[in-house]
Structure 1
């Protein structure tokens, strides 16, 4: 019978550091100091560095803060446009410094690479902006006329040249710009406002519902904007126009002919169209040319865009608007001619 003796191993203190029980409180105190002082210092250093870090935007951009818009909405749009690196950081800085209620509505020119801290300061500045209103149903030339009359740095022809490709997507609204605003500042702000205000309307689902592209919706909406006034009538007219379009019937919308032959005299929308006007071979003259015109004819408001998305199907093929702005509908050309004789013969 053998008895196995237990090996008593000892720690070689030359190879392994043995913690002195008497020093445990010291090490614990050092750990607490690290957590309580050093870690917060590192976090604060990271925070201040992030506040002053330039955003990823490489170009100057216009940005509109709407009256009464929440800080969370502003931070989300800033992030979506690449104007801040972190919406959470922007919101936290506002909250930590009680700045959420101090953001001023207006149109801002955001420098490329602007930091969160500088952006917050910019939005608090009391601005002496010039207020300007662009009406629903205006064409680019009318927008250019109004802008050039209010701002010395805006040239009418330069504005038209830069904005013409965006006919229909310059959102009609009231804006505030600094006195040194130029063509690009105003156009960019109107385009950005359009994108924000129509994002819930011009969705893939809504476009699929009416089987139209975004551009086609805007073209129809621009015609509806110029042709009729009330929201209910706009839905009916949108339905008539789309039905005629699908059946290959000319739209026959006077507003498109007005767009084609203007300017006449002092107006961009001549009411008294001549025989020559009505026979114009312009691609915008929907009395002669079937299909949609190549571009929108004006800046439609939300009501007209919504009318196309939510168009009303009716048995009507014709409509007219009398001198009082009342719309009259007809199923046949004969009925329509009777309406013309009754409401438009003076």
Structure 2
């Protein structure tokens, strides 16, 4: 086969493209760099041009919004951890302090009070902490003792618990309702007034605990509820042979026992004396009933003594004049006297008189009672003579305890057939 080769002008035209390619290849060839040029860094290529989509207004707005959200979240997280740290850190005060939160005080006002008392460093952090803890509606009014270095969280927890400072008031057994009201009115922590003096014998003497802001009427209401509860229990467990017909009569008897003795182990025996007298239709002849009949709930004036005119007074409480129990209670008896009246000792005693040592001497008959009375008066006379000798000046007649003129209840005791008395000297009857 013959290979035809272009000749002449055709050959020149065919060779032209080859020479162009050769020149282009030569032009694109990079000349070798000098050693100094080789050490120089080459310029980095520029960023690619932004796409039309990235420059769209909606995309730009969304990017801005995301930036704001991220910054806000980071800022909120920072504020949260800062506030939480402040809310839980120990406070600077080094002594316990009290704070009073009145009923109806709102969260912001509570924060203001705490801040003014120096208990919290920031009222806004306290408000935010309470709100975040969802305890706004659980904060309770009261007077609180805040321990030293308590944190804001500790203070919040104290207000939520409601365990404020607890006060107490003790009502002695044997006070009249009027005297109890006077005692409550004199208490500086309780608030409010007592509208009416409760009926005699409807309150239970005891120690009652309360917090600042509690009312005097509230204490009275509690005393009445406790009285009803205790009387119902005692009445249900009473001796079935008692000569009393109702819980009210039991309270009346217990009030006499309460006023006659303050010694615990004597109550049931004193109660037995009056029970035995009721069973034998004897007059009770109790000095405390005479006092109540004349002086009422105010009691015997300080330093005064029972007079013959008091014993002769005609009223529904003078058990020297009336048979059986008086019209109603003469005081508010306590649990022990109620229990003693419901279950008295099983004795035959009909009399008792003070023995000079704080207790009483009991007797089953009038003759033994007169001996006990004589023994007591001799003891009192010896004590009076010793006191006069020590003072160098005799006391006026009729002022010593157990003196016949000063204590006419023992001046002419009557035998059982005539309604003889279960008596003790005035020094032992006055418990006001």
**Fold conserved (TM > 0.5)?**
yes
Question: Which one of the candidate residues 341, 346, 351 is aligned to 1:318?
Answer: 351
Give, in whole Å, the separation in 2 of the partners of 1:202 and 1:265.
29
Offset at residue 237 of structure 1 (A): 1.6
- Which structure 1 residue ranges, 5 or more long, are not aligned? 1-120
TM-score by length of 1: 0.56
1:194 aligns to 2:231 (yes or no): no
TM-score by length of 2: 0.46
Task: Answer yes or no: is the 8 Å Cα contact 2:179–2:297 preserved in 1.
Answer: no
1:206 aligns to 2:238 (yes or no): yes
The structure that has the greater radius of gyration is 2
Question: Which one of the candidate residues 254, 260, 280 is aligned to 1:227?
Answer: 260
Counterpart in the other structure of 1:126: 163
Task: Answer yes or no: is the 8 Å Cα contact 2:292–2:299 preserved in 1.
Answer: no
Counterpart in the other structure of 1:241: 274
Worse-superposed segment, 283-292 or 190-199 = 190-199
Offset at residue 146 of structure 1 (A): 0.7
Query: 1:41-56 to 2 correspondence within 5 Å?
Result: none
Counterpart in the other structure of 2:364: 331
1:139 aligns to 2:172 (yes or no): no
Give, in whole Å, the separation in 1 of the partners of 2:225 and 2:159.
19
1:293 match: secondary structure: coil
From the superposition, tell whether residues 122 and 334 of structure 1 become closer, same or farther in structure 2 (CA, over 3 Å). Answer: farther
Give, in whole Å, the separation in 2 of the partners of 1:339 and 1:240.
15
Offset at residue 268 of structure 1 (A): 5.6
Offset at residue 198 of structure 1 (A): 4.3
Give, in whole Å, the separation in 2 of the partners of 1:264 and 1:322.
28
CA-based RMSD of the aligned residues comes to: 2.9
Offset at residue 264 of structure 1 (A): 11
- Which structure 2 residue ranges, 5 or more long, are not aligned? 1-157, 382-432
Give, in whole Å, the separation in 2 of the partners of 1:198 and 1:122.
37
Counterpart in the other structure of 1:305: 338
Q: Which one scores higher on RCO, CA 8 angstroms, separation ≥ 6? A: 1
Offset at residue 179 of structure 1 (A): 3.5
Matched length = 220
Deviations 1:291-340 (A, max 9, x none): 11111111212211111122123222111124432111122223323322
Give, in whole Å, the separation in 2 of the partners of 1:303 and 1:197.
11
Counterpart in the other structure of 1:116: none
Offset at residue 178 of structure 1 (A): 3.7
